[in-house]
């Protein structure tokens, strides 16, 4: 029987990210105003709303930038939109930027990325998980299946995923837990970690050797993601017959697996831009599913 590794994203793929992002927004605005910028909350809120409008009216112009490269477009997901807006707010005033740099001196990542990561991790841990319909059933079924080996791979921290999965009575593999089912978690995987000096190129079925995946005149995806690449290579070395990556975002999670020849399944959300869906549908190893029921059907079809 075919052995399949299923690499599952968490936020937005298994959870109702739009709902959670609404909660996160208030928490992050307050932390940014009070703890980092030390300015009135209403100033941050005003700028936040202005930037949000600008992004949604010209989404190709706004991205989450890491080390000077585009990690993802701002409108590809609810959390990403929030993070991108917060970054634009930090850059919107020289005094804001100075406060961010003082609090988060740059290391392998720039100060604005470090600050927005801090807001994301500290904020999302306070947000209650809202799992999508069918998430528990999907996880339990793929955990139980004898030839499917699931792993949750995410930019979020392992401890958040572990905490949220408790609501479904699923434990983290390799830890002492009281649950009947457990799953491997690869947290803080940094799909957004971009490196302009990384020289790896990829063979594209249409464009040849490249570091950029062109999508259309407005959108393209930079593939210089050494951290995510290393994790995927390690998974490939486990020797499964097929590796399937499932996520709700294309730039962050999907583009690299696609060019590496893995199967990528885009799980749509209310935020999925049309260009992402078209790009995945047109790729020979891409698939699009509308919900977790369709995803389950697809995964079980692979091992039938
Ligand atoms: Mg996601």
Distance separating alpha carbons of residues 44 and 39, to the nearest angstrom: 8
Phi, psi of 148 (to 5 degrees): -105, 130
CA of 234 to the centre of ligand 1 (A): 21
DSSP state, 170?
Answer: E
143 and 245 inside one domain: yes
pLDDT at 1: 85
CA of 7 to the centre of ligand 1 (A): 12
291 and 186 inside one domain: yes
- Residue located via tokens 């059907």: 297
Read off the pLDDT of each residue in 147-152 and give the average, rounded to a whole number: 98
Q: How confident is the prediction for the chain on average, in pLDDT? A: 95
**Given the DSSP bridges, would you call strands 202-204 and 208-210 parallel, antiparallel or unpaired?**
antiparallel
| pLDDT above 90 (res 252) | yes
9 and 138 inside one domain: yes
pLDDT at 44: 98
CA of 267 to the centre of ligand 1 (A): 9
DSSP state, 131?
Answer: B
33 and 85 inside one domain: yes
Residue 239: band (very low, low, confident or very high) from pLDDT cuts 50, 70, 90: very high
Distance separating alpha carbons of residues 189 and 200, to the nearest angstrom: 19
- Residue located via tokens 């406060």: 99
CA of 40 to the centre of ligand 1 (A): 31
185 and 276 inside one domain: yes
What is the model's pTM? Answer: 0.91
pLDDT at 125: 87
CA of 95 to the centre of ligand 1 (A): 32
pLDDT at 123: 93
| pLDDT above 90 (res 205) | no
> How many folded domains does the chain comprise?
2
Residue range 259-294, pLDDT digits in tens: 999 999 999 999 999 999 999 999 999 999 999 999
CA distances (Å), 113 to each of 47, 63, 91, in order?
18, 12, 11
285 and 246 inside one domain: yes
CA of 16 to the centre of ligand 1 (A): 10
| pLDDT above 90 (res 248) | yes
Give me the domain span that covers residue 99.
17-124
Specify burial of residue 282 (Cβ count, 10 A radius: 0-12, 13-18, 19+). Answer: exposed
Q: What is the CA radius of gyration of the chain?
A: 19
**34-49 residues labelled b (16+ CB within 10 A) or e (exposed):** eebbebeeeebbebbe
Distance separating alpha carbons of residues 107 and 271, to the nearest angstrom: 32
CA of 43 to the centre of ligand 1 (A): 29
What interhelical angle do 111-124 and 78-91 show, nearest 10?
A: 140
Residue range 90-148, pLDDT digits in tens: 999 999 999 999 999 999 889 999 999 999 999 988 988 899 999 999 999 999 999 99
- The H or E element containing residue 231 is helix 226-236
What whole-number percentage of the chain has pLDDT above 90? 92
146 and 201 inside one domain: yes
Distance separating alpha carbons of residues 129 and 15, to the nearest angstrom: 7
Residue range 43-87, pLDDT digits in tens: 999 999 999 999 999 999 999 888 899 999 999 999 999 999 999
pLDDT at 195: 96
Read off the pLDDT of each residue in 228-249 and give the average, rounded to a whole number: 97
User: 124, 153, 178 — which closes off a domain?
Assistant: 124
164 and 95 inside one domain: no
Read off the pLDDT of each residue in 158-176 and give the average, rounded to a whole number: 95
118 and 169 inside one domain: no
- Residue located via tokens 């804001």: 96
CA of 181 to the centre of ligand 1 (A): 23
CA of 98 to the centre of ligand 1 (A): 31
102 and 191 inside one domain: no
User: 124, 142, 171 — which closes off a domain?
Assistant: 124
Read off the pLDDT of each residue in 191-196 and give the average, rounded to a whole number: 95
CA of 92 to the centre of ligand 1 (A): 27
What is the sign, positive or negative, of the torsion defined by CA atoms of 294, 282, 202, 65? negative
User: 92, 124, 156 — which closes off a domain?
Assistant: 124
């Amino acid at each position: 029987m075919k052995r399949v590794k299923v690499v599952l994203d968490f936020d937005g793929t298994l959870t109702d990210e739009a709902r959670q992002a609404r909660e996160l927004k208030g928490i992050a605005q307050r932390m940014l105003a009070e703890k980092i910028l030390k300015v009135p909350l209403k100033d941050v809120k005003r700028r936040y709303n202005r930037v949000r409008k600008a992004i949604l009216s010209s989404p190709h112009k706004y991205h989450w930038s890491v080390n000077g490269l585009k990690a993802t477009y701002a409108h590809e997901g609810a959390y990403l939109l929030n993070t991108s807006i917060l970054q634009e707010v930090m850059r919107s005033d020289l005094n804001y930027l100075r406060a961010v740099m003082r609090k988060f001196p740059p290391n392998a990542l720039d100060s604005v990325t470090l600050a927005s990561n801090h807001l994301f991790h500290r904020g999302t841990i306070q947000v209650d998980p809202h799992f999508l319909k069918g998430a528990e059933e999907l996880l339990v079924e793929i955990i139980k299946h004898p030839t499917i080996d699931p792993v949750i791979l995410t930019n979020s921290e392992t401890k958040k995923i572990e905490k949220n999965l408790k609501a479904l009575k699923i434990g983290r593999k390799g830890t002492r837990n009281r649950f009947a089912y457990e799953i491997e978690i690869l947290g803080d995987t940094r799909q957004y970690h971009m490196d302009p000096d990384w020289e790896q190129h990829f063979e594209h079925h249409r464009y040849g050797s490249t570091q950029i995946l062109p999508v259309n005149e407005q959108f393209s995806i930079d593939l210089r993601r050494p951290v995510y690449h290393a994790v995927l290579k390690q998974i490939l070395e486990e020797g499964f017959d097929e590796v399937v990556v499932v996520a709700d975002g294309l730039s962050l999670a999907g583009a690299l697996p696609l060019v590496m020849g893995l199967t990528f399944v885009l799980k749509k959300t209310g935020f999925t831009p049309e260009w992402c869906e078209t790009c995945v549908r047109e790729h020979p190893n891409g698939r699009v599913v509308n919900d977790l029921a369709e995803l389950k059907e697809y995964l079980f079809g692979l091992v039938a």
